[in-house]
Structure 1
């Protein structure tokens, strides 16, 4: 039988490849040929430390001080209140202590398998050099903010990662990148994809070698009794892994999917003066992460809740460029600007499972900030579901019926 995977981001590609490697006949349906999905513009960080869902009492308390208008990373555009206000109400409901504890437990199990799954995936696509397991740094500009930040991290559930003080040599190197660095810690157990473009190329080559057919079209779903069909495309089973575009095909099957576009912004500059072996660096007081790729350095940040199709806000790029200048980072322009929409559900857990409304429908979307981190393990878990293998973890917390 043929499996149609709707979506060609990193999650969709990982699902398609996992299925093909288990002997399934796969069609990957993705209308975009330009790698415009958030998968190819993210920070490259494999964030295994982010066990605590952002749907939390701490997040709710922090909102006033983190608003964009006050210099923070969170923007709730007034003109799009009709989009983000219903989401915010659901977020509040998902941020109770009990739901936060349950969400942390669910993410902890999922994230524990993330790095082993990435090792298997890069080995399968003959691109082991793309996986870097040298952690990341978090920095602060003064002792007061560092003490508070380090205390928060040491009290947090960080799963399989570990925190250490930066060594003298590491601290000196960070200071050479920004004189604003007054303190730093290093996470061990997190990682990075060395270059997103090279990852896409490696996945595409592996998909082609595995016989996966790529269909450049939009998937329109229709119900046929207890099953779903795709207009103009033959498929016996269907996996929806279309990121922010997953809501419409899921709705066709009768599922209520409260996805929102959590839009992030980045700028990329020339890489000559940024060492290639420095892992991602977080400047926590600025809420930005800086990542060196093969031929560029990327500065990423912001959480902007709204419509995926709304026009970008140039003020975010301007602020990122100002951060580069004020921190004294050795990143030269002219800067390339990008914006992408992370697919986010109100409880900040992904949706992974099998439909209870259509016999042949499966899904994997809503990975918010963790799409790259969880892509490989999600691909394996979905392949388990379709091949009647027992998934390595309990997927019930990620069922879309929780909404």
Structure 2
């Protein structure tokens, strides 16, 4: 008999959601991670349950604006050329998916999955007793130049066509909603159905507590190898050998490092993201506010103001880039006026496939191994529905979401 019904590698937003979902279904579950739950990439996110975020980073504007994005001091994108040369497959596939037709297809798949996001995460919020962490004030996006405001129109209409609700807000109302803004607002849109969490780490901590209360087991160790058979899987983690009926790979950007899981040859890249925190400035905004041109969010966090976002394409083990932090500090002052020196900063690793779609489904190598990673900017948003889908797969149920677009063996360009 196996030691566990299901073993889950990774205790970030996605892995923790998977663990709590299958534990709520009555299974004997093992959660493995060398670090405390939620302390990795999930710790530093924009706090937003971004059900509107169906437009991929792969956008045709990337192709037309690539020189400016790569070389401008005010670009929200940073690229390590050495890393790009070492990973041409990912880079070329990413750019191929920036063409109009693939970008539209990707947006449709993300919208289909995001339509189930609330149904996936709401039971976890209830199980974790985290209702007090949820704020229903929507998300405000602003553009500060006429050119950018006009360029945003196509994407907004695509969202509307895909079922994402939003309403136009005139500049005066935007400044009434968020009087802390110091930008010249040329256009503003309120995604009124969005929510945010006052503290994502606290949410994941409470999910872990609920998981443990229901009988879940946690092992502070890294899953190193998986060996699947017709009857189950054998795992090596922290010098221990364990058995389970199924293994779930939910280790984010580190998922390809687990041998035997069917992940090692996948083109999993990393969009490195940064944040800076101002402990005394939490009053500056009352909901997540995204500045379109600058590519980042100002977020009210339980512990202050968080400025977070931008994209850096670089290696997992590359040192933090101080220019990215300087960018957030400088643009944050443009957005909100004078700010003190930040109290802390952070670097995280968004796991991203070159088509911006997560990998959710059974491994091509074995039905006993289930993949759940690659959620790029929206792991917090999609963690709940991913967990529910993983529970269905482990139980042999037919998921109510078509998982073909998220299969590990799909074409990536």
TM-score (norm. length: structure 1)? 0.92
Q: Indicate which of 312, 323, 326 corresponds to 1:304.
A: 312
2:146 is aligned with 1:148? no
Contact 1:254 1:357 in 2 (8 A): no
Summarize the Cα distance change of 1:177–1:91 in structure 2 as closer, same or farther, 3 Å threshold: closer
2:33 is aligned with 1:40? no
Q: Where do 5+ consecutive residues of structure 1 fail to align?
A: none
2:199 is aligned with 1:195? yes
**Aligned with 2:287: secondary structure?**
coil
Find the counterpart in structure 2 of residue 285 from structure 1: 293
Summarize the Cα distance change of 1:204–1:60 in structure 2 as closer, same or farther, 3 Å threshold: same
Summarize the Cα distance change of 1:19–1:74 in structure 2 as closer, same or farther, 3 Å threshold: same
- Cα distance, 1:286 vs structure 2: 1.6
Find the counterpart in structure 2 of residue 131 from structure 1: 134
Q: Counterparts of 2:255 and 2:315 in 1: how far apart (Å)?
A: 14
1:2-13 superposed matches below 5 A: 2-13=5-16
2:185 is aligned with 1:177? no
Aligned residues: 401
1:33-112 superposed matches below 5 A: 33=36, 35-67=38-70, 69-112=72-115
Task: Please say which of residues 352-361 and 100-109 is displaced more in the overlay.
Answer: 100-109
Contact 2:38 2:205 in 1 (8 A): no
Summarize the Cα distance change of 1:330–1:293 in structure 2 as closer, same or farther, 3 Å threshold: farther
**Aligned with 1:79: secondary structure?**
helix
Contact 1:265 1:302 in 2 (8 A): yes
Find the counterpart in structure 2 of residue 362 from structure 1: 370
Q: Indicate which of 202, 205, 229 corresponds to 2:234.
A: 229
- Cα distance, 1:116 vs structure 2: 2.6
Summarize the Cα distance change of 1:222–1:282 in structure 2 as closer, same or farther, 3 Å threshold: closer
Deviations 1:131-184 (A, max 9, x none): 223211111224x24641452343322544322233645423434332544542
Aligned CA RMSD, in angstroms, stands at 2.3
Summarize the Cα distance change of 1:115–1:149 in structure 2 as closer, same or farther, 3 Å threshold: farther
Deviations 1:5-48 (A, max 9, x none): 00010100000000000011000000012744111101112222
1:196-211 superposed matches below 5 A: 196-211=200-215
2:30 is aligned with 1:27? yes
Summarize the Cα distance change of 1:180–1:102 in structure 2 as closer, same or farther, 3 Å threshold: closer
Q: Counterparts of 1:118 and 1:147 in 2: how far apart (Å)?
A: 32
Summarize the Cα distance change of 1:254–1:200 in structure 2 as closer, same or farther, 3 Å threshold: closer
Deviations 1:96-148 (A, max 9, x none): 44433332222121000112322222112111122223211111224x24641
Deviations 1:197-220 (A, max 9, x none): 221221121111111111011112
Q: Counterparts of 1:34 and 1:114 in 2: how far apart (Å)?
A: 21
**Aligned with 1:309: secondary structure?**
coil
Summarize the Cα distance change of 1:92–1:323 in structure 2 as closer, same or farther, 3 Å threshold: closer
Contact 2:136 2:194 in 1 (8 A): yes
Q: Counterparts of 2:24 and 2:37 in 1: how far apart (Å)?
A: 25
Q: Counterparts of 1:225 and 1:361 in 2: how far apart (Å)?
A: 10
Find the counterpart in structure 2 of residue 218 from structure 1: 222
Find the counterpart in structure 2 of residue 256 from structure 1: 265
Find the counterpart in structure 2 of residue 334 from structure 1: 342
Contact 1:385 1:391 in 2 (8 A): yes
Find the counterpart in structure 2 of residue 245 from structure 1: 254
Q: Counterparts of 1:353 and 1:48 in 2: how far apart (Å)?
A: 21
Q: Counterparts of 1:273 and 1:126 in 2: how far apart (Å)?
A: 24
**Aligned with 2:346: secondary structure?**
strand
Contact 1:51 1:157 in 2 (8 A): yes
Q: Counterparts of 1:369 and 1:72 in 2: how far apart (Å)?
A: 18
**Aligned with 1:359: secondary structure?**
strand
Q: Where do 5+ consecutive residues of structure 2 fail to align?
A: none
- Cα distance, 1:397 vs structure 2: 0.9
